[in-house]
């Protein structure tokens, strides 16, 4: 039987303001589609098409964008939190829609983990819950998960001191759960699954599944958002966008001067214009209807639809909101995000983030 999927998308995405001042985080574009589309397409590619979305902040905009989910190959059931309920409280509100086994996902993550393999491991072990785990280069920055030899969870280590670190595994925000786990969640209040449910399951059916070769990133900061766009364009993470990019980085209907340069791991969208001498570098997206002036240089920069970059600008690690404008000769070294409809600075100004 196909596994149902619950995705938690109730957060406000405050660290991605000003982009999230006018749109919910799941609607923030990554290359050519809203961020949540990646999760929907990911689960659909694993044959999981019955999806419950638990949302709160700016939910009307999410419903308008994603609808019934058919555009992404899934069928969406919407659950609305009256106030923030946390990672377990939001799940509890979806209880009436769930069958015996389901997958719970954190909606802030971009990943290509093998969900099919994780579900199979869950079934083999007879687990009540199986946490997706990924290794990280700097374990000191995360809460860590310790495993026993049989892959059952031995315990959790929060904010470890250097001499305490004996694993590089962290929870990756994807959990296969049996329905009886829902009985451990009190209704009607905010509940953290990490703090109030997992510790009670240690020694009682909680296992881990390690995705050693998978891509995984929480896109909650400007730096990671910009990096995620670059990783999608380069193919560092396996997504459906790669199928589209096989046709080249310049979409039909875009106007790119022959004297401009476009990197192979960039995207110039339909209806946009790139003038002579401009350089569209790696990790850059020129959104629909955006304009790049003569001799402007963009590296790891995202122009949302209708944004304008005037001549001789130099931009790196930069995100321009819809219809925003970067005056001629402006230099930006980010990460820096600019709101929709904003003019960045006076012509010729130099800005360095941080």
What does the pLDDT profile of the chain (354 residues) look like in tens digits?
568 999 998 777 688 888 888 888 899 999 999 999 999 999 999 999 999 999 877 788 889 999 999 999 999 999 988 777 888 888 988 888 998 899 999 988 999 999 999 999 999 999 999 999 999 888 877 789 999 999 999 988 887 777 778 888 999 999 999 999 999 988 888 888 988 899 999 999 999 999 999 999 988 899 999 999 999 999 999 999 988 888 899 999 999 999 999 999 999 999 999 999 999 999 999 999 999 999 999 999 999 999 999 999 999 999 999 999 999 999 999 899 999 999 987 767 787 776
Whether 10 and 135 share a structural domain: yes
Residue 222 belongs to a domain:
yes
Which of 168, 200, 234 lies at the terminal end of a domain, its last residue?
234
Whether 63 and 140 share a structural domain: yes
Residue 211 belongs to a domain:
yes
Whether 168 and 210 share a structural domain: yes
Which of 206, 234, 262 lies at the terminal end of a domain, its last residue?
234
Whether 221 and 267 share a structural domain: no
Please answer whether residues 8 and 25 qualify as being in contact, where contact means their C-beta atoms are separated by less than 8 angstroms.
no
Mapping DSSP to helix (H, G, I), strand (E, B) and coil, where does residue 249 land? coil
Kindly report the CATH number assigned to the domain that includes residue 229: 3.90.550.10
Residue 284 belongs to a domain:
yes
Whether 17 and 144 share a structural domain: yes
Whether 278 and 311 share a structural domain: yes
User: Omega before 160 cis (within 30°)?
Assistant: no
Residue 119 belongs to a domain:
yes
Residue for token pair 């560092």: 236
Residue 342 belongs to a domain:
yes
Residue 7 φ then ψ, to 5°? -120, 125
Q: Count the Cβ atoms, other than its own, within 10 Å of residue 269.
A: 19
Whether 63 and 155 share a structural domain: yes
Kind plus residue range of the DSSP H or E element containing 30: strand 29-30
Kindly report the CATH number assigned to the domain that includes residue 313: 2.160.10.10
Residue 240 belongs to a domain:
no
Residue for token pair 């001499």: 163
Whether 166 and 214 share a structural domain: yes
Residue 239 belongs to a domain:
no
Closest CA to 76 of 92, 58, 94, 88: 94
Q: Total structural domains in the chain?
A: 2
Which of 177, 202, 234 lies at the terminal end of a domain, its last residue?
234
256-292 pLDDT, tens per residue? Answer: 999 999 999 999 999 999 999 999 999 999 999 999 9
Whether 175 and 294 share a structural domain: no
Whether 181 and 303 share a structural domain: no
Taking the C-alpha atoms of residue 99 and residue 329, their distance in angstroms, rounded to an integer, is 58
Residue for token pair 């579900």: 119
45-87 pLDDT, tens per residue? Answer: 999 999 999 987 778 888 999 999 999 999 999 998 877 788 8
User: Omega before 261 cis (within 30°)?
Assistant: no
Residue 71 belongs to a domain:
yes
Closest CA to 207 of 103, 123, 89: 123
Domain that holds residue 186: 4-234
Residue 185 φ then ψ, to 5°? -105, 115
Whether 279 and 179 share a structural domain: no
Whether 176 and 65 share a structural domain: yes
């Amino acid at each position: 039987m196909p596994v149902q999927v619950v995705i938690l998308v109730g957060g406000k995405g405050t660290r991605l303001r000003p982009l999230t001042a006018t749109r919910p985080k799941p609607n923030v574009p990554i290359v050519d589609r809203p961020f949540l589309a990646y999760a929907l397409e990911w689960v659909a590619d694993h044959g999981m098409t019955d999806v419950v979305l638990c949302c709160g902040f700016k939910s009307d905009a999410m419903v308008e964008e994603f609808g019934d989910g058919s555009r992404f190959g899934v069928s969406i059931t919407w659950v609305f939190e009256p106030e923030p309920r946390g990672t377990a409280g939001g799940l509890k509100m979806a209880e009436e829609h769930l069958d015996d086994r389901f997958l719970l996902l954190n909606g802030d993550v971009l990943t290509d983990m093998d969900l099919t393999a994780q579900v199979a491991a869950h079934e083999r072990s007879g687990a009540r819950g199986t946490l997706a785990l990924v290794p990280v280069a700097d374990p000191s920055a995360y809460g860590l998960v310790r495993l026993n030899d049989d892959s059952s969870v031995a315990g959790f280590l929060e904010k470890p001191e250097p001499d305490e670190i004996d694993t590089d595994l962290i929870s990756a925000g994807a959990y296969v759960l049996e329905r009886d786990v829902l009985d451990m969640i009190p209704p009607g209040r905010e509940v953290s699954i990490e703090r109030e449910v997992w510790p009670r399951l240690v020694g009682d059916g909680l296992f881990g599944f390690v995705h050693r070769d998978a891509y995984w990133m929480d896109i909650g900061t400007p730096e990671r958002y910009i990096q995620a766009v670059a990783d999608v364009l380069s193919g560092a993470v396996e997504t459906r966008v790669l199928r589209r990019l096989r046709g080249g980085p310049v979409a039909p209907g875009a106007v790119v001067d022959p004297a401009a340069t476009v990197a192979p791991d960039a995207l110039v969208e339909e209806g946009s214009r790139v003038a002579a001498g401009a350089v569209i570098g790696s990790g850059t997206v020129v959104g629909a209807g955006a304009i790049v002036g003569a001799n402007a240089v963009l590296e790891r920069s995202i122009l949302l639809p209708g944004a304008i970059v005037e001549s001789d600008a130099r931009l790196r690690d930069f995100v321009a909101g819809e219809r925003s404008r970067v005056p001629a000769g402006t230099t930006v070294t980010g990460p820096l995000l600019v709101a929709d409809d904003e003019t960045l600075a006076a012509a010729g100004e130099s800005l360095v983030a941080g």
